[in-house]
Amino acid sequence: MNSSSKIGPNSIIQTVTALETRFGKTEAEAILKRCGQGHWIGNLPSEMTEESKFHALVGALDNEIGENKTASILEESGRRTAAYLLRVRIPGFFQKILKPLPPGIAFKLLLFAISKNAWTFAGSGEFSYTSGKKPVITVKVTYPGRPVVGNFYLGTFEALLEELVNPKTTIKASIKKESGSILCTYTCTI
């Protein structure tokens, strides 16, 4: 956990990009303006940003276009974030080491590496994982937001695991409010 409660800018960049892909640039900009998030148009963050800004964007989209469309946008945003991580943040040599390994070992190594930088996406929240026959990834969002935000993490983990652990990976997500937090549990079949 990082006391500054900042997260990577891709949370916002890729959500706006996914919104534009889904609705087209003109309609996406209109949606952002209608829901009070027009300040992101042509002004996306380029460095770590307060998690509150991402949660405000998620909440505004949820109110404006509904939970189902927002969930779909966030899952796509997560997949786009994973693509960025694979291109820019996860070293190529590490990717080459993981891919030929048995899925269980690749999962453990990948999640161990992710855990070292989990604050960049969990912000003030918590990240954990278990390995074994049915590995589980858990993100506890302590910032008061909307459960739909869990779809962002779902898309990210799905794409990373499909690419680096096993292309046939599936994840069963359980995303719910619990004691003032949002508990996102992702049970993986690798």
Residue-wise pLDDT for 154-174, tens only, equals: 999 999 999 999 999 999 999
For residue 188, the cross-strand partners are 171
- For residues 47-51, average pLDDT: 95
Question: Model's pTM, two decimal places?
Answer: 0.94
- Concatenating the DSSP letter of every residue in 88-108 gives IIS-HHHHHHHTTS-HHHHHH
Query: In angstroms, how far apart are the furthest CA atoms of the chain?
Result: 48
For residue 52, the cross-strand partners are none
Neighbouring CB atoms inside 10 A of 89's CB total 13
Domains of the chain, first to last? 6-189 (3.90.1520.10)
CA dist., res. 75 & res. 53, Å (int) = 18
Residue-wise pLDDT for 99-110, tens only, equals: 999 999 999 999
pLDDT score recorded for residue 102: 97
pLDDT at residue 3 tops 60: no
On average, the pLDDT of the chain sits at 95
